[in-house]
């Protein structure tokens, strides 16, 4: 794509004065040069000092760090993004480790809960059910002509916080901020969308400040018809768009992905992105534990879309490593609200079916074969080497569970992945203490290092931000028509290949967050090459893939302006 903004040497615009300053993607604040102030009638609207983007960044960071809460910092950054987009991304890119937890998890959860209170300026699109017949008209606005990536949510299952209605828009905004901050995809190519089909959250409905449609959630046929209207309009408007589903409830997440993945280029980050980062981190952990993938026994708490997605990708990795599908499926122990998934249980979904344990396999685990088999029983009898949590249940990895696991495994691999921090299945401090410092820990949200016997144990943030920005970059670079599961496997392996444990078994499992731009480029290349293998992208050699990726990576810096026309 030759017209993306990072290929421009000069930006031409016909806007001037207040209009120019109030356009977030064009505003440079006090960094407008004296010549630009003459040309665009900015004298008097700006203080006389002509500054630089670095000076502006220092000024914003000083204010940001003076706030007393992360939510205040989140709101400040959202305001900066809506005021001066280039400066926002300049600050984000150069301070990723500090700002990632503010722009996305865990703080974005609170941002969604209070989205109505802090909403100020339009960003993205709210497609509400009463406007079902206007979707095509709304999408037709010329300002969206260049859109290539959409992140959409219906706000029903925001992280582990549940239904946030229209406040769920914070998730698409945050995700797309990382597409730009971590992978360099130009902001003008991105569009956050919230499908406002109502909310069942009484607190939202009774809040006089709530900005969404005040109605209980539309379900069933009405819901499906609304989503179909949306998807059909998107395909008509942007035939080559990449659409990411985000934070849909489990009953809809897998179903919508399967329904539409053959019609457009689409994926669900909760299912596939979570699976890829979990797989990549486990592959990195194998460098430390020495237990090959074929010998791993994996317990997963939470058998919804995320848990099944993780298990499916890891099962495929085991098969690729030489196991039969039957052998691999027996290595998984998925525990849901009704206990371990066992044959004969009611309500087993198609996604869960490959991981159901036979009655013979659990014979002797409990005297009453019909009873609920909990996580502790799984630890005692299955003796898993890996424990993954995607349950949204704070404290679900109890001391008994973790200590029992640690009795049977020298280096237990434990990933409490639920977000935000308040929903984590256990804290890293607990996991390190209960395993006498032996656990390899990865968490969905950032945690501080844990002191243990005179040393500091780094806690890896096993977050989807290592994966989905690079997937998007790779898809766009080669114009992939579909997103395949093997592309996510390629992403997982690319992340694992960059693990510091490749060279040092005592190092962190994942590259540091401040290297996410390099990680995203590596993931993009792996995804782009795999897309060609899978036949969903045109052929091009490795050097051409590198060139295309580089052309898509936008650097947030000010360019000189000229008057259009």
Task: Give pLDDT, residue 110.
Answer: 96
489 and 438 inside one domain: no
Q: Does the annotation count 121 as an active-site position? A: no
> Which burial class, exposed, middle or buried, applies to 3 when counting CB atoms under 10 A from its CB (0-12, 13-18, 19+)?
exposed
SS3 386: strand
458 and 470 inside one domain: no
Distance CA 524, CA 519 (A): 8
Closest CA to 163 of 195, 186, 125: 195
Closest CA to 67 of 55, 54, 80: 80
Which of 175, 210, 558, 561 is flagged as catalytic? 175
List phi, psi (to 5°) of 463. Answer: -110, 145
The set of residues, in sequence order, having a beta carbon less than 8 Å from that of 412 and lying 6+ positions away, is 385, 386, 387, 402, 405, 406, 435, 438, 439, 440
Distance CA 465, CA 494 (A): 14
Residue with tokens 């992208």, as numbered in its chain? 537
396 and 419 inside one domain: yes
Domain count, the chain: 3
C-alpha distances in angstroms, 103 versus 325, 369, 442? Answer: 40, 47, 20
Q: Among 245, 263, 281, where does a domain finish?
A: 263
Cis-peptide into 280, omega within 30 deg: no
CATH of the domain at 372: 3.40.50.720
Distance CA 190, CA 176 (A): 7
458 and 472 inside one domain: no
SS3 351: coil
Q: Among 430, 462, 494, where does a domain finish?
A: 462
Q: Where are the alpha helices (DSSP H) in 269-324?
A: 274-289, 305-320
SS3 6: helix
DSSP string, 420-465: SGGG-SS-HHHHHHHTTT--EEEESS----EEETTEEE--EE--GG
Closest CA to 487 of 354, 313, 243: 313
294 and 400 inside one domain: yes
Task: Give pLDDT, residue 5.
Answer: 43
137 and 180 inside one domain: yes
Q: What is the pTM of this model?
A: 0.94
- What's the token pair of residue 464? 């989807």
Cα angle, residue 178 at apex, residues 483 and 246 outer, rounded to 5°: 50
Distance CA 380, CA 439 (A): 17
Could you list the pLDDT tens digit for every one of the 565 residues in the chain?
333 444 568 999 999 999 999 999 999 999 999 999 999 999 999 999 999 999 999 999 999 999 999 999 999 999 999 999 999 999 999 999 999 999 999 999 999 999 999 999 999 999 999 999 999 999 999 999 999 999 999 999 999 899 999 999 999 999 999 999 999 999 999 999 999 999 999 999 999 999 999 999 999 999 999 999 999 999 999 999 999 999 999 889 999 999 999 999 999 999 999 999 999 999 999 999 999 999 999 999 999 999 999 999 999 999 999 999 999 999 999 999 999 999 999 999 999 999 999 999 998 886 554 568 999 999 999 999 999 999 999 999 999 999 999 999 999 999 999 988 899 999 999 999 999 999 999 999 899 999 999 999 999 999 999 999 999 999 999 999 999 999 999 999 999 999 999 999 999 999 999 999 999 999 999 999 999 999 999 999 999 999 999 999 999 999 999 999 7
Closest CA to 418 of 440, 447, 445: 445
Distance CA 512, CA 500 (A): 9
Decide if 513 is inside a domain: yes
Q: Among 433, 462, 491, where does a domain finish?
A: 462
424 and 318 inside one domain: yes
Decide if 51 is inside a domain: no
Decide if 422 is inside a domain: yes
Range of 282's domain? 272-462
Distance CA 242, CA 149 (A): 5
184 and 118 inside one domain: yes
Q: Which residues pair with 366 in a beta bridge?
A: none
449 and 481 inside one domain: no
Residue 562: its H or E element: strand 561-563
SS3 112: helix
Rounding to the nearest 10 degrees, give the CA dihedral for residues 386, 392, 395, 397: -20
The set of residues, in sequence order, having a beta carbon less than 8 Å from that of 222 and lying 6+ positions away, is 129
Closest CA to 88 of 558, 488, 565: 558
> Which burial class, exposed, middle or buried, applies to 123 when counting CB atoms under 10 A from its CB (0-12, 13-18, 19+)?
middle
Q: Does the annotation count 12 as an active-site position? A: no
Which of 74, 104, 558, 561 is flagged as catalytic? 104
């Amino acid at each position: 794509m030759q017209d993306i903004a990072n290929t421009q040497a000069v930006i031409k615009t016909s806007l001037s004065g207040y209009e120019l300053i109030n356009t977030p993607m064009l505003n440079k604040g006090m960094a407008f040069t004296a010549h630009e102030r003459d040309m665009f009638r900015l004298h008097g609207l700006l203080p006389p000092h002509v500054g630089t983007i670095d000076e502006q960044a220092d000024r914003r960071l000083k204010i940001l760090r003076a706030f007393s809460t992360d939510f205040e910092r989140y709101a400040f950054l959202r305001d900066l993004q809506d005021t001066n987009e280039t400066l926002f991304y300049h600050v984000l890119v150069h301070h990723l480790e500090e700002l990632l937890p503010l722009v996305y998890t865990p703080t974005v959860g609170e941002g969604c809960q209070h989205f109505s209170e802090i909403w100020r300026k339009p960003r993205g699109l709210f497609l509400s059910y009463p406007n079902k017949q206007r979707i095509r008209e709304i999408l037709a606005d010329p300002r969206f002509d260049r859109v290539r990536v959409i992140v959409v949510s219906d706000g029903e299952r925001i992280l582990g916080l549940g239904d946030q209605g229209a406040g769920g828009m914070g998730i698409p905004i945050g995700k797309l901020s990382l597409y730009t901050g971590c992978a360099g995809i130009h902001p003008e190519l991105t569009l956050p969308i919230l499908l406002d089909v109502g909310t069942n959250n009484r607190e939202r409905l009774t809040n006089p400040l709530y900005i969404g449609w005040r109605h209980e959630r539309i379900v069933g046929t009405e819901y499906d018809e609304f989503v179909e209207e949306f998807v059909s309009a998107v395909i008509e408007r942007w035939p080559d768009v990449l659409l990411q589903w985000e934070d849909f409830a489990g009953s809809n997440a897998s179903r919508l992905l399967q329904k539409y993945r053959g019609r457009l280029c689409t994926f669900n980050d909760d299912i596939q992105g979570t699976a890829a980062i979990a797989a990549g981190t486990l592959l990195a952990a194998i460098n430390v534990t020495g237990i090959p993938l074929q010998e791993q026994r994996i317990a997963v708490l939470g058998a919804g879309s995320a848990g099944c997605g993780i298990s499916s990708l890891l099962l495929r990795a085991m098969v690729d490593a030489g196991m039969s599908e039957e052998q691999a499926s027996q290595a998984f122990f998925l525990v849901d609200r009704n206990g371990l998934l066992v044959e004969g249980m009611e309500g087993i979904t198609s996604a869960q079916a490959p991981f159901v344990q036979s009655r013979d396999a659990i014979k002797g685990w409990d005297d009453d074969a019909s009873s609920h088999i909990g996580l502790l029983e799984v630890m005692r009898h299955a003796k898993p080497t890996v424990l993954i949590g995607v349950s949204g249940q704070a404290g679900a990895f109890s001391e008994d569970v973790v200590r029992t696991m640690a009795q049977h495994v020298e280096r237990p691999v434990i990933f409490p992945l639920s977000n935000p921090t308040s929903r984590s299945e256990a804290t890293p401090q607990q996991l390190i203490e209960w395993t006498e410092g032996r656990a390899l820990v990865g968490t969905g949200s950032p945690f501080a290092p844990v002191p243990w016997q005179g040393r500091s144990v780094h806690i890896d943030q096993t977050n989807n931000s290592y994966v989905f920005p690079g997937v998007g970059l790779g898809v766009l670079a080669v114009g992939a028509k579909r997103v395949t599961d093997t592309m996510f496997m390629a992403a997982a392996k690319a992340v694992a290949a960059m693990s510091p444990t490749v060279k040092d078994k005592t190092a962190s499992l994942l590259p540091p967050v401040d290297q996410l731009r390099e990680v995203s480029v590596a993931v993009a290349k792996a995804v782009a090459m795999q897309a060609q293998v899978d036949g969903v992208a045109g052929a091009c050699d490795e050097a051409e893939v590198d060139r295309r990726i580089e052309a898509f990576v936008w650097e947030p810096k000010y360019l000189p302006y000229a008057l259009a026309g």
